[in-house]
Structure 1
């Protein structure tokens, strides 16, 4: 199995993989989840990590009676990981954002199409993009980097970063906790992972459509 096939298999069956990790490592699973979320949000070269589906699966496992995972501890640790990750990403953008535009070795590490879309999104919505981008797979990894490269005032960034990190964590974990044990969802978990991506993109799509409609009315 090549790396792409393995990654797709993990994404579609992340509940099974996470259950294996919990069974094997117990409380160390908290550290693993913290690191994965921190890397996904903190390193601009890692937008492919399955943050949304991981939250849903973790919430679903925490709902099991006698589970090794505590919902309250998950909420706290993952929110901290997400906020710290975006903070690191912001400062990386602030320090090397200008170099990124000049050196090909940086550009080869990052999906340029996704970066351009994220930059356009950030330029259009400003600080609100930091909050809203948190819910958009791939884009959420680039937004903090672009915010740093654009020299967004850090307290302003931090405000939206904290709100976005907390709301994103709450939404993902609670969705898994309350809906992950429904028989239909358990039997069609792979389909749910695809649906989560679609739902994650909805807020951004709705904002873009609403603004486009308003723009046409002004014209």
Structure 2
């Protein structure tokens, strides 16, 4: 297998996991760890598989081909450390922006972003875990906006645990049901929408009340 074929297998690991297990055995745990770490830790690799990977891996746990508890521990660690790296990269860039006079950067907008993440960043970091692409950029933006490190890490771990446990467990119980496996992305997005819509409506209600009270 050449490098391009291996990279293609990584990109479609949710479909080729069985082949990887048969060919590489226990080393697949390291591959899955690396994929989740890179997808959450490096914005340039936002296209790496996430939700479907966790779900399908859970399905293989149900068949006994992978260890459920070991998989969850490794993937939670990968998700937490990946987000932390992404946050640190954003933080370094953000510090340069705050300390240098770049004409193309609106520092007021950056400060408002910082205030937003201090106020609503916890919910954003957690919910972003369940939205492809967004979960890769959320920790980076949190770092750029200089969100408090302790606050970020609390929600980082919480979001990672909820994301990995829920999807791996869902895969364990439902991953071998074709209709669920084939519509996983839609199911995840509907669930996230159910959580986001009430928050958005609540925010709009508060803004409307403030405008009417003026």
TM-score, normalised to structure 1, is 0.75
Q: Which of 184, 187, 191 lines up with 1:195 in the alignment?
A: 187
How many Å separate the matches in 2 of 1:214 and 1:178? 40
Structure 2: tracts of 5 or more residues without a match: 105-112
Structure 1: tracts of 5 or more residues without a match: 105-117
Q: Which of 174, 178, 194 lines up with 1:179 in the alignment?
A: 174
CA offsets per residue over residues 62-119 of structure 1, 9 Å max, x none? Answer: 101x31x1010011000000000000000000112466896x9xxxxxxxxxxxxx99
Q: Structure 1's 50 and 201: CA in aligned 2 closer, same or farther, altered over 3 A?
A: farther
Matches within 5 A, 1:1-219: 15-64=14-63, 66-67=64-65, 69-97=66-94, 122=117, 125-182=120-177, 184-185=179-180, 189-217=181-209, 219=212
How many Å separate the matches in 2 of 1:121 and 1:56? 32
Aligned length: 193
Contact 2:86-2:140 within 8 A present in 1 as well = yes
Contact 1:57-1:176 within 8 A present in 2 as well = yes
Of the two structures, which has the highest relative contact order with CA contacts closer than 8 Å and spacing of 6 or more?
1
Structure whose CA Rg is larger: 2
TM-score, normalised to structure 2, is 0.76
